[in-house]
Every structure is written in structure tokens, then in C-alpha cells.
Amino acid sequence: MTTVSTGQAGSLALSGIVKRYDSAPVVRGVSFSLRAGEVTALLGHNGAGKSTALKILGGAEQPSGGHILLDGEAVTLTTPRIAEAHGIAVVWQELRIIEKLTVTQNFFLNREKRRGPFTDRTAMNEHVRRALATYGLAADPDMAAGALSPADRQMLEIIIALDKGGRFLLLDEPTSALNASEITRLLDTVRRLAAGGTSIAIVTHKLGEALAVADHVVVMKDGDVVLDAERADLSEADLAYYITGHRRDATPLAEVSPRTAFGGTTLLDIKTLSSGNCRSASLEINAGRVVGLYGVAGAGQVELLEVLFGVRPMQGGEIRLAGEPYVPTTPRAALAKGFGFLTDDRKANGFIPDMTIGKNIVLASIDRFSRGIWFDDAAVAEQARTMAARLAIRSPLGTSVRRLSGGNQQKVIFAKWVTARSRILLLAEPTKGVDIGAKAEIHALIRELAAAGDTLLVCSSEIEEILEVSDVIYVFRHGICEGTGIPRAEAEARSILAQSL
């Protein structure tokens, strides 16, 4: 039996944890603890080791060395089920809710209540009603889980974990797919659970949220813990320093990217476009500009990008591209006109997970990098080296994209569209789920592409990101976007938020 100073009653701790993949260490002697009734924010670059630490705590990965301590005693967690039996529950960024099953079926999956040989649906539904009411989730036990909003599906998974006896709740990027009001609701729930004695770890890239909700902060870098401190002693600048190794640059955007807010040739002229949630959008977009599209979730901004790339039919309105009528019918047709689309779900639509970095980079340009039905491996390798150097992709180029950090996966998708010579890039949540360092690199890449003459439409749920990268901002409200953009120099977060509600 092994104990360390961090192992106390009501605590879950890692002590000297090491994890190697193919002899390469990704976690190097990590020690930290989660304490009863406290929220611990686990921060760091993508690839810093925090997800691996979370997997080890949740029984999904086995350490190569060191100990896991539960209430001061060493335990072995060989599977997630064993971790659950010890009161440890993980809610991953990719939720495990099965959308085609009902709320009750998800709730009692593999643990159904029975009356004799039969499933007791009445008892299960009543149990679910009480549990949902306890945590303020308004849902019918018999409704399909897929009919719930993303925020409610996430809340359902949290409630299920607590109902199974979870006293240590580990949350992986819980706010990445939520809008501002949903984030506030989730963070309020986290605080309430901690006040009731639950120990919570939250992995996030959003430093403001970490400081708003955490009692205790752990920062990992290159597989090591570089900061383990109480939240009250820290600022966002402190956290950014420990994560990146650099103090945040206080240079204003105007000095970083000295481009005029307006001027230039009109490239895209969109009038009263409608499709799905986008009821009427009118925008005039100049070449060589970064155009920010802001609105609450479902306000129509993503649908606009989907129409432009030909993955969603245009139901009404008119688009002119360089003065000529443009009716996008397929992604292939949009690609031929110079469009590229970085979707908000990179894992589903952005790349082929088991294909290498190099081959993913040339996916949208296969005609230039193939000989018949085969890849031209030499040409692919040369292009991959060029793009990796330009975009700072820090992994061997033969690595499958599945194994990359979120930030490097996003850079591979950017590299794909740059390789395809896309001149109009449509970016939906371009920094979703990436760390602060990768986010800064992606923002710099966006500005670099615009400076080279490319036009970028950026849709983000983070108002700070819109203000950071945009030359002009259009606000969507209830599916409507008027034709007047706001120059960055005149834009204020409070005003934009108010216009979007």
C-alpha cells in the first residue's frame, strides 16, 4: 500500500504517474489531487498530457508507472467500469448518450430495474423524473435523447454519472459546444455540485471559465505539472504564462495586423439569402478581409457557410461572386470556385482519422497529388513538409491524424484548404477545443492568409475571438443579418452581444 501527502480522505490523486506510448513518455511523473467539495481546473496545451491524465483517472488508460490513490490508498483502475464502481465518472467531450434511445433507456443502460423477469419501465421512468427534477433538467423520460439540445444531453450524462454514485466527476471540455447562456447554466451546476461535496475536475482551454469556477488550478506542459495552486492567487495572464511559457502580448490588434477596415473590391454580394435557421442574410464582403459572423447558436450563421460551400440548398435570395451569379450546388462546385470549408465538427467532416497527416493535407487536391488511383508519395511528402513548416504542425508526418492533438488536427485542415489554393475560406468555430497556444497560432494564420489576399468568413461563438481576428463583423439575430457590417475599430463586445439577443 502506497500513500503520498496528497492522498487524504475524500480525495483522488495521481502520484508520480508515468505514461509511455511506444517508449515515448507523454506523462512524466505527474502528481496532483482532487479534493472533496472542490473544483479543480486542469489546463494546458493540446498534447500537454492532461487528457491522458484524465483517461488514467477514469480507467480508460493504464499508467506505465506511479500510483492512483483513492482516499489515501493505492487502487488499480483497469477499466472505466471499475473506476465507476469506485465513484469516478468521466463525461467526455464526445458524449456517450445514444440519441436514438429514450432518456430513460440511456439512464438505465445495462442496469435496468426489473420486476421479476420483466423490465420495470414505470419504476425507471419515475426514478428518472425525480433525478431530472433534482438537477433542473426539463425532459420527458420517454423522449428520444437526440431531441435534447447539446447542453441538455451533456447535463443528462452528468446526472447519470451522479446517479451511479459518482463522487468524483471528471469533465472533458464541457463548454466547447455550448452557447453563452448554456455555459453559465453549466458552471452554476458545477458550483452547486461542489458545494454538495462532489469533487470535480474540469479540463478546459477557456481561462476565464477556469478562474470563474475553480478552487484549485493544475497546469500541465509537456507531460509535467508546472503549476499546482489555489485559484485565488492567479490571473488569466498567470495561467497563459504557465501554459505557453510566454507573457501575453498586449499589442493591440491594429498594430499586429495593420489593415484598413474597409475598402477593396466586393468579392461576395449576398442578398436576403435564406436556408434553414438563416431566414434572411444580406452581406457585402470585400476581398482580402476577415469577416466575423456572430450570433447565438442557431441564429443562422453556420447555415450561411453551409450554403456557400454547397452542402445546404439555398431556399431564397441571391449570391454574386466577383460580380457573377453564384448558385452553389455541391462542394465540388464550390471548391472549383475557390471555396474551402473548415466545419465546426472536424472529427466528423474535417479529415480521415486513420490517414496520415500528409495524405489528409492533399485530400482536396488529389488530382495534383496522384498518379492514376495511387498517391504520388514523393509529392505528398514534399507538400506535407512545406505545410508542416508553415503551420508549425509538430508531429511526424507519417502519424495518423487520429493521434494528433486538437490544435494540430485543426492545422491539418487549414493546410488541406491552403494546399487546395482556396481563396475564400469559410471557418466555423476555427479554434474549438484547442489550447491557448494553438489558438494564437491559428489567429496568426488567419491574419496571414488575409494579408496574402485570401478572404475569410469566421463564425465563432466566442465574442473575444470575433473581435480578435475580424476586420468587419456581421451580427445574426433570430436568423436575420442586415447588410451593414461593423468595422472592428467601432465594435464593442457589449453592443454586439446585445444585438445578437
Q: For position 92, what pLDDT does the model report? A: 87
Q: Are residues 257 and 236 in the same domain?
A: no
Task: State mean pLDDT over 443-449.
Answer: 90
Domain-located, residue 1: no
**Nine-digit cell string for 356:** 496520415
**Among 408, 411, 416, residue whose Cα is nearest residue 361:** 416
Q: Are residues 198 and 215 in the same domain?
A: yes
Answer yes or no: is pLDDT of 252 > 70.
Answer: no
Q: DSSP class of residue 167?
A: S
Beta bridge partners of 455: 424
Cβ-in-10-Å burial (0-12, 13-18, 19+) of 390 comes to middle
Domain-located, residue 5: no
Q: Are residues 234 and 268 in the same domain?
A: no
- Looking at 59-68, 100-109, 199-208, which range is the least confident one? 199-208
Q: DSSP class of residue 231?
A: G
Q: Residue 481: CB partners within 8 Å, gap ≥ 6?
A: 278, 280, 281, 282, 283, 293, 295, 300, 301, 304, 474, 475
Structural domain range at position 34 = 11-244
Q: Percentage of the chain surpassing pLDDT 90?
A: 48
Domain-located, residue 2: no
Q: Are residues 434 and 417 in the same domain?
A: yes
- Name the pairing type of β-strands 266-275 and 316-321: antiparallel
Q: Are residues 211 and 277 in the same domain?
A: no
Q: Are residues 238 and 272 in the same domain?
A: no
Last residue of a domain, one of 244, 274, 299: 244
Task: State mean pLDDT over 41-69.
Answer: 89
**Nine-digit cell string for 71:** 482516499
Q: Are residues 234 and 258 in the same domain?
A: no
Q: Are residues 98 and 188 in the same domain?
A: yes
Q: For position 46, what pLDDT does the model report? A: 63
Q: For position 69, what pLDDT does the model report? A: 95
Residue 309 in 3-state DSSP?
coil
**Tens digit of each residue's pLDDT (9 = 90 or more) over 474-486:** 999 888 998 679 9
Q: Are residues 274 and 333 in the same domain?
A: yes
Answer yes or no: is pLDDT of 178 > 80.
Answer: no
Rounded CA separation 120/77 (Å): 32
HSE value, Cβ hemisphere, 13 Å, CA-based, for 210: 30
Q: Give the number of domains in the chain.
A: 2
Q: For position 501, what pLDDT does the model report? A: 61
Domain-located, residue 183: yes
Q: What angle do CA 249, 255, 258 make, to 5 degrees?
A: 140
Contact 388, 327 (CB under 8 A): no
Q: Are residues 285 and 155 in the same domain?
A: no
Residue 29 in 3-state DSSP?
strand
Q: Which CATH number do you get for residue 297?
A: 3.40.50.300
Last residue of a domain, one of 209, 244, 279: 244
Burial 238-261 (b: 16+ CB within 10 A, else e): bbbbbbbeeeeeeeebeeebebeb
Q: For position 263, what pLDDT does the model report? A: 44
Task: State mean pLDDT over 418-432.
Answer: 88
Per the listing, cell 457573377 goes with 324
Q: How sure is the predictor about 437, in pLDDT bands with cuts at 50, 70 and 90?
A: confident
Rounded CA separation 265/242 (Å): 43
Question: Which stretch, 193-197, 356-360, 461-465, has highest mean pLDDT?
Answer: 193-197
- Name the pairing type of β-strands 424-428 and 339-342: parallel
Q: How sure is the predictor about 299, in pLDDT bands with cuts at 50, 70 and 90?
A: confident
- Looking at 89-93, 253-257, 295-299, which range is the least confident one? 253-257
Q: For position 255, what pLDDT does the model report? A: 35
**Tens digit of each residue's pLDDT (9 = 90 or more) over 76-90:** 999 999 999 999 999
Q: How sure is the predictor about 250, in pLDDT bands with cuts at 50, 70 and 90?
A: very low
Cβ-in-10-Å burial (0-12, 13-18, 19+) of 81 comes to exposed
Mean pLDDT of the chain: 86
HSE value, Cβ hemisphere, 13 Å, CA-based, for 108: 21
pLDDT higher for 205 or 443?
443
Domain-located, residue 6: no
Last residue of a domain, one of 221, 244, 267: 244
pLDDT higher for 264 or 167?
167
Q: How far apart are the first and last CA of the chain?
A: 57
Q: For position 378, what pLDDT does the model report? A: 85
Q: Are residues 280 and 381 in the same domain?
A: yes
Rounded CA separation 238/453 (Å): 36
Contact 66, 16 (CB under 8 A): yes
Answer yes or no: is pLDDT of 260 > 80.
Answer: no
Rounded CA separation 324/356 (Å): 38
**Backbone torsions φ then ψ of 249, nearest 5 degrees:** -75, 120
CA 55 to chain centre: 18
Q: DSSP class of residue 400?
A: B
Domain-located, residue 3: no
Contact 219, 50 (CB under 8 A): no
| Full-model pTM | 0.62
Q: For position 264, what pLDDT does the model report? A: 60
**Tens digit of each residue's pLDDT (9 = 90 or more) over 345-376:** 777 777 888 888 888 888 888 778 877 778 78
Per the listing, cell 420495470 goes with 120
Answer yes or no: is pLDDT of 441 > 90.
Answer: no
**Nine-digit cell string for 435:** 489550447
**Nine-digit cell string for 292:** 466575423
Task: State mean pLDDT over 414-424.
Answer: 87
Helix orientation angle between 150-163 and 121-134, rounded to the nearest 10 degrees? 110
Answer yes or no: is pLDDT of 52 > 70.
Answer: yes
Q: Are residues 239 and 283 in the same domain?
A: no
Q: For position 1, what pLDDT does the model report? A: 30
Taken as a whole, the chain contains a residue count of 501
Domain-located, residue 63: yes
